[in-house]
Amino acid sequence: MERLYLYDTTLRDGQQTQGVQFSAAEKVEIAQMLDLLGVDHIEGGWPGANPTDSDFFDAAPKTRATMTAFGMTKRAGRSAENDDVLAAVLNAGTASVCLVGKTHPFHVREALGIGLDENLENIRASVAHLVAQGREALFDAEHFFDGYADDPDYALECLHVAIDAGARWVVLCDTNGGTLPGRVGEITRAVIAGGIPGDRLGIHCHDDTGNAVACTLAAVDAGARQIQGTLNGLGERCGNASLTTLIPTLLLKEPYRSTLQTGVSPEGLAGLTRISRRLDEILNRVPLRAAPYVGASAFAHKAGLHASAILKNPATYEHVEPAIIGNERIIPMSNQAGQSNLRARLAGAGIEVGRDDPALARILDLVKVREDQGYAYDGAQASFELLARAELGTLEPYFSVERYRTTVERRKNALGQRISVSEAVVVVRIGDQRMLSVSESMDEEGQDRGPVNALWRALGKDLGPYQTHIEDMHLVDFRVRITGGGTDAVTRVIIDSADGQGHRWSTVGVSHNIVDASFEALVDAIRWKLIRDRVAPA
Amino acid sequence: MERLYLYDTTLRDGQQTQGVQFSAAEKVEIAQMLDLLGVDHIEGGWPGANPTDSDFFDAAPKTRATMTAFGMTKRAGRSAENDDVLAAVLNAGTASVCLVGKTHPFHVREALGIGLDENLENIRASVAHLVAQGREALFDAEHFFDGYADDPDYALECLHVAIDAGARWVVLCDTNGGTLPGRVGEITRAVIAGGIPGDRLGIHCHDDTGNAVACTLAAVDAGARQIQGTLNGLGERCGNASLTTLIPTLLLKEPYRSTLQTGVSPEGLAGLTRISRRLDEILNRVPLRAAPYVGASAFAHKAGLHASAILKNPATYEHVEPAIIGNERIIPMSNQAGQSNLRARLAGAGIEVGRDDPALARILDLVKVREDQGYAYDGAQASFELLARAELGTLEPYFSVERYRTTVERRKNALGQRISVSEAVVVVRIGDQRMLSVSESMDEEGQDRGPVNALWRALGKDLGPYQTHIEDMHLVDFRVRITGGGTDAVTRVIIDSADGQGHRWSTVGVSHNIVDASFEALVDAIRWKLIRDRVAPA
């Protein structure tokens, strides 16, 4: 088995993603996740280029993976020792340093405005300087594939200069992302034939043609033994090659599985889905449902034919077992779904229904009607269960809400400061009891948290006999979409709730009024919790 | 030049995407977009399998592309003529019919429970029946690559049986999406060597390893001349091969550009970004920013080094020209961006700032501070412009809001129906004038549209001298995210507005209170509109 090395650049190239801005603390958490996963290098950022990256290297966690600082080869007209940009990179004190440099004559002339020989000398002197300082040196050959197409001898010479100066790795970068897999394979083979050993050769691809993963595999097929990529394929423009996708392919699929080994253990692989979703949480991004291996839809079998075959034998429509990467199989509910899907999903929720129960057809119809109104049950399992129970006649409503009112006011206070105050009144009925609760939504720091929070507090203030059961419950996330489009637009609110027992559940509400949609989802969330805890109705 | 045929299955396999449910009217609109784009076949659905698909074929638009119905080969134990499922497919009356059938012995035995010869006869009889009815016949060879690995002779025989029975195309389907590009190329070459002509051979791939596009290209490289895919890569699990990605690659990149031709014209290609985004609008999905070619980030240059080179010569960091696919270059604002990015972005908004203006550094700092608070200016250009103008001292505030109050009440009305009523009071100051406005948010149909709508109406009711300028303005979309996470979570609201002149702009508000965040974005939206229209301050 040959060793294949994984070089992660989530914290550097991944930070180039539009809309992504890590804090130093978030970088620390991500570095720890990468280390747990088992990558070989963690490229932490460009020290000196922005304050966050410098802060991160000051506080970088101890990792088994080699922490790496990124920078660029020294500028023309000064020595490597006197280049302050390069000095800032070295000052981060990492064991490994990766410097990007030019290999494409067009860029040497156009972007740097220097001669081709001067560029070679910049590469040589920079790498030699790293090595003299006792660092592992990597050279990122920017625009390598375009450069090779233009002038193969010069592009190759840049690599040889770096290797001869002591670089441990030279990395072929398809910086603009325009090279297709066949060409990446061909040029990588030519580079190895030109004297660069495969076990000192890396590959760095972007997804501008949707081929970043395939280009990376093509370079590995050709003999490159380091792959650079990011978690979830973050990165400049369309992103980098996704390690989240590449790692399972390399570990689970032939020919890689039986010819290459990496530092990722089966346990690391089983944590991949969790790591992928945690990263999205840090970024406040909605996880991509269709992401290979780790997406919520990656093992979702919606077609009726597929779903029924899967129930007999998962191998019929799954290329790998979802549990291996910590993911799970789901049979989504929707108005395409047949009764066998529905029964399987209800059974998963502990609701057993006979094969010929006429309620199955009624539930399917109801789901269809409600989805037409804007509800979405794919992502709100708890509300779906309540709907099914209501139709099956096994839903205990526990309580009803007679009316509510919520007010938001923004004005100046006595000190002349602008403040906002939210207040809610809720009238709840439980059997013969009628309970009137009022709440503001001020938190411990005096911050007004808004009308939905005020409603939640008023509801949670006095639910009579159920009160003890909802006290460990809290709201985790709140997502709003305008749906239906055009004149018939409605607001869909999905609320994620959690409790002290580690459960997490999602409910949905739909209305033209965002407060009303939120309130519906809140009431569903409480009802589901009471059912989950098997609370006896008062 | 050889002809390559594009077969779109957005309306069938694309509908298998989790969370996607087209109406018949939406299918009609999508079919018209596909026709404009220039695909050869439009697979409209499975007539008889669900009411929407049957409705669509009843109302299918006239297209230049060949409308195709999807179904499966006849079941065992009955003749093709007497199979009611097949009859429903034929009854749709399309010129072309595509039937899926088994080619993998494991599936023949496991899923169908019949003998291998009986399966061959099902394929033969079904295709022959289509041809006898005067239809163009396609045979989708399900699980072909897994089947070929298991029993190459049988898999190939299935194809020959279909061709001999008169199928125009046989299509190699990687149904579970687990086959890698190298293997797809190898098996496609073997199939052609085994007697199936490339110009009667199609390819249908899924993205379960992130290689759907590369696998499709590998099959084309091997000689297959029909590609199946979907717009935006919709489809079961991780999706199908994305035609949105494949089409520009095939038209713009070598070796395809100079050896193959398709039915897509330069005008069709220039409409690709619009089609991709319109589809997401229909689906109420947020367009994937990182999508190759058409994503909002596909030509976004965030790295400072890239951005400054792009300003000199776009070819330095772009593999194709964005305008060719109807997309555009952007230099996003963020705290990574340097002053040259900032000046370029301000110039794009008509705000000229000198290279050495100290306000540039102040604006960058302010953006950083506000993004730390939860603002996001990448997607809210109008709010960014207001922030920059304020810092440059060129922002005319036009009006100020002294206070507001909004109330939502849900209760029973006199008829005992549950209704909700939202009301807002706003006090605005313009110069010496003080204006008090109140509004409910009931629309023409008596629907309560919620507190944000009530605030918008109250604001828009009396803006004194500015009133005429905001009357053609309306709210298009409203997106809410909880951001910051954990204890410091805040609500970010982004509002898209539009006016009668066809402008569309986005503003952002952040607060712990969703109503307050929305109000901030509303006020920004109005201010931007007044600036845009060069309204003189009162």
* Least confident stretch, A429-438, B225-234, B360-369: B360-369
Task: Residue A514: list chain B partners with CB under 8 A.
Answer: 450-452, 514
Q: pLDDT grade, residue A484 (50/70/90)?
A: low
Residue B64 near chain A (CB below 8 Å): no
Smallest CA–CA separation between A387 and chain B, in Å? 18
Task: Check CB contact under 8 Å for A210 and B245.
Answer: yes
**Pairwise CA distance, residues A147 & A170, whole Å:** 15
Position B505, amino acid: W
Task: Check CB contact under 8 Å for A16 and B295.
Answer: no
A400-532 fold: Double Stranded RNA Binding Domain (3.30.160)
**Pairwise CA distance, residues A518 & A424, whole Å:** 13
Question: Could you read off the pLDDT of A527-538 as tens digits, one per residue?
Answer: 999 999 999 988
Task: Tell which residue, B463, B464, B482, has the closest CA to residue B522.
Answer: B463
Of B171 and B367, more confident: B171
pLDDT for A488? 54
Quote the Cα angle for A216-B4-B259, to 5°: 70
Distances (CA, A) of B136 to B38, B60, B99, B172: 19, 18, 11, 18
Task: Residue A221: list chain B partners with CB under 8 A.
Answer: 182
Residue A306 near chain B (CB below 8 Å): yes
pLDDT for B484? 52
Task: Residue B361: list chain A partners with CB under 8 A.
Answer: none
The average pLDDT across B172-201 equals 98
**Pairwise CA distance, residues A215 & A203, whole Å:** 9
Percent of chain B with pLDDT over 90: 64
Residue A27: alpha-carbon gap to chain centroid = 14
Question: Which residue matches tokens 């032939």?
Answer: A254
pLDDT for A489? 66
Given CATH 3.40.630.30, say whether it is the number of domain A2-264: no
How many other CB atoms are there within 10 angstroms of residue A105's CB atom? 17
Residue B496 near chain A (CB below 8 Å): no
CATH 3.20.20.70 occupies which residues in chain B? 2-264
**Pairwise CA distance, residues A396 & A531, whole Å:** 8
Residue of B231, B237, B252, B313 to mutate, testing the A interface (most A Cβ within 10 Å of its Cβ): B237
CATH 3.30.160.270 occupies which residues in chain A? 400-532
Q: Which alpha helices (H) appear in B5-104, and where do they start and end?
A: 24-37, 51-58, 84-91
- Parallel, antiparallel, or unpaired for β B136-142 and B169-173? parallel
Task: Tell which residue, B3, B37, B14, B7, has the closest CA to residue B172.
Answer: B7
pLDDT for A284? 65
* Least confident stretch, A41-55, A92-106, B362-376: B362-376
What's the whole-model pTM score? 0.78
Q: pLDDT grade, residue A204 (50/70/90)?
A: very high
How many other CB atoms are there within 10 angstroms of residue A194's CB atom? 16
Half-sphere exposure of A338 (CA within 13 A, CB side): 14
- List the end-to-end C-alpha distance of chain B, in Å, as a whole number: 66
Half-sphere exposure of B399 (CA within 13 A, CB side): 29
pLDDT for A492? 85
Task: Check CB contact under 8 Å for A317 and B176.
Answer: yes
Q: Please, what is the average pLDDT of chain B?
A: 91
Q: pLDDT grade, residue A148 (50/70/90)?
A: very high
Task: Check CB contact under 8 Å for A404 and B410.
Answer: yes
Q: What is the CA radius of gyration of chain A?
A: 29
Percent of chain A with pLDDT over 90: 65
Between residues 499 and 528 of chain B, which touch chain A (CB distance below 8 Å)? 511-516, 519
pLDDT for B325? 95
Residue of A26, A208, A286 to mutate, testing the B interface (most B Cβ within 10 Å of its Cβ): A208
* Least confident stretch, A180-184, A246-250, B289-293, B412-416: B412-416
Task: Check CB contact under 8 Å for B181 and A217.
Answer: yes
Smallest CA–CA separation between A292 and chain B, in Å? 5
How many other CB atoms are there within 10 angstroms of residue A30's CB atom? 24
Task: Check CB contact under 8 Å for B207 and A286.
Answer: no
Task: Tell which residue, A315, A346, A424, A331, has the closest CA to residue A378.
Answer: A331
Residue A111 near chain B (CB below 8 Å): yes
Find which of A413-422, B161-170, B453-462 is predicted with most confidence, using mean pLDDT: B161-170
Distances (CA, A) of A481 to A64, A247, A494, A528, B78: 42, 34, 9, 23, 49
* Least confident stretch, A247-251, B205-209, B347-351: B347-351
Res. A196: pLDDT tops 80:
yes
On whether the CB atoms of residues B189 and B222 are closer than 8 A, the answer is: yes
- Parallel, antiparallel, or unpaired for β A169-173 and A136-142? parallel
Q: pLDDT grade, residue B487 (50/70/90)?
A: very low
Q: pLDDT grade, residue B161 (50/70/90)?
A: very high
**Pairwise CA distance, residues A57 & A44, whole Å:** 7
Task: Residue B409: list chain A partners with CB under 8 A.
Answer: 403-406
Task: Residue B496: list chain A partners with CB under 8 A.
Answer: none
> Which among A18, A407, A448 has the least Cβ separation from residue B289?
A18
Task: Check CB contact under 8 Å for A332 and B21.
Answer: no
* Least confident stretch, A348-352, B100-104, B244-248, B309-313: B309-313
**Pairwise CA distance, residues B21 & A336, whole Å:** 8
Q: What is the CA radius of gyration of chain B?
A: 29
Question: Could you read off the pLDDT of B245-298 as tens digits, one per residue?
Answer: 999 999 999 999 999 999 999 999 999 999 998 898 777 677 898 999 999 899
The average pLDDT across B42-49 equals 94
* Secondary structure of B129-195 in HEC code, one letter for each residue: HHHHCCCEEEEEEECHHHHHHHCHHHHHHHHHHHHHCCCCEEEEECCCCCCCHHHHHHHHHHHHHCC
The average pLDDT across A132-146 equals 98
Task: Check CB contact under 8 Å for A512 and B449.
Answer: yes
Question: Could you read off the pLDDT of A37-81 as tens digits, one per residue?
Answer: 999 999 999 998 877 888 899 989 999 999 999 999 999 989 999
On whether the CB atoms of residues B505 and B381 are closer than 8 A, the answer is: yes
Between residues 124 and 163 of chain A, which touch chain B (CB distance below 8 Å)? none
Task: Check CB contact under 8 Å for B217 and A238.
Answer: no
Go through chain A and tell me how many residues it has: 538
The average pLDDT across B467-489 equals 73
The average pLDDT across A149-178 equals 98
pLDDT for B372? 72
Q: Is B288 helix (H, G, I), strand (E, B) or coil?
A: coil
Residue A468 near chain B (CB below 8 Å): no
On whether the CB atoms of residues A21 and B371 are closer than 8 A, the answer is: yes
Position B54, amino acid: S
pLDDT for B486? 39
Residue A339 near chain B (CB below 8 Å): no
Task: Check CB contact under 8 Å for B211 and A207.
Answer: no
On whether the CB atoms of residues B65 and B34 are closer than 8 A, the answer is: yes
Task: Residue A450: list chain B partners with CB under 8 A.
Answer: 491, 511-516
On whether the CB atoms of residues B105 and B116 are closer than 8 A, the answer is: yes
> Which among A209, A491, A515 has the least Cβ separation from residue B292?
A209
> Which among A177, A213, A302 has the least Cβ separation from residue B319?
A177
pLDDT for A416? 84
pLDDT for A313? 84
**Pairwise CA distance, residues B526 & B516, whole Å:** 16
Res. A22: pLDDT tops 90:
no
Smallest CA–CA separation between B306 and chain A, in Å? 10
Residue A456: alpha-carbon gap to chain centroid = 29
Task: Residue B289: list chain A partners with CB under 8 A.
Answer: 18-19
**Pairwise CA distance, residues A271 & A222, whole Å:** 29
